Amino acid sequence: MKTLLNFITLSILSTSSLLANSYRIELSSGGSQLATMELHIEDGMATSTADGIKEEFDLVNMKWKHEESGQWVSIKQCTEWANQSKAKSMASMESADVPEQVRDFLSWSLSPAFEVTKDGTSISLISGQVDYAIEGIASESNTEDYYKYAILNSYKKAMTERKLPPYSELKAIEEMKGLGYIPTSISIEIPGIPQTPGFEMKIEEI
């Protein structure tokens, strides 16, 4: 019995170690590097570190930690916020002061749709408002937890930076998750708002 228990314990520890993944993520725009982040995922938790700032995500219970208050924000609270924000944004679009181009962008952002094209390890999501070009394979392990982090992080950015609900980003995450791997490069262009700079994200497993 003792031997069996030792075997089970070692098996659990081995499985946990296999589920530990680390990534380096670089964000740039117009050829200039904006930020470098290191992401570590282990035992159902994700921790990202950039410029000395650590952010925590509970991937089991699907919630993220608000650093200033120390409170955890659940996925339910995220979706409730998104619904409220969408209602407010839709009401604001009715204002005569909103330029037609901005109104079109807002309308699409609240109910985004993409034309999806796949070619080997490349995938493009085209809408004419926000376009994604996704390439390469950075990792094929523990993708489920990585995309759980991506979902929570998209909500966190939108909520803390007072942005629109991240519906287009969530839709892009859904398409990437369906690939079964984590890409090496994600390029984002925003033709819906002229002169808005694009962004590029490079992902490397470390």
Half-sphere exposure of 178 (CA within 13 A, CB side): 11
pTM over 0.85: yes
Cα–Cα dist 83/60, whole Å: 23
Cα–Cα dist 139/144, whole Å: 12
Structurally, the chain folds into a number of domains equal to 1
Per-residue pLDDT of the chain (206 residues; tens, 9 = 90+): 444 334 333 333 334 345 699 999 999 999 899 999 999 999 999 999 999 999 999 999 999 999 999 999 999 999 999 999 999 999 888 776 888 898 999 999 999 999 999 999 999 999 999 999 999 999 999 999 999 999 999 999 999 999 999 999 999 999 999 999 999 999 999 999 999 999 999 999 99
Range of the domain at 104: 2-205
Its sign, for the CA torsion 138, 141, 143, 145, is: negative
pLDDT of res. 14? 37
pLDDT of res. 97? 82
| Contact criterion met (CB below 8 Å) for 156 and 73 | yes
pLDDT of res. 7? 38
Reading the block at residue 72, the tokens are: 């955890």
Cα–Cα dist 119/135, whole Å: 9
pLDDT of res. 92? 86
pLDDT of res. 118? 94
pLDDT of res. 96? 64
pLDDT of res. 205? 96
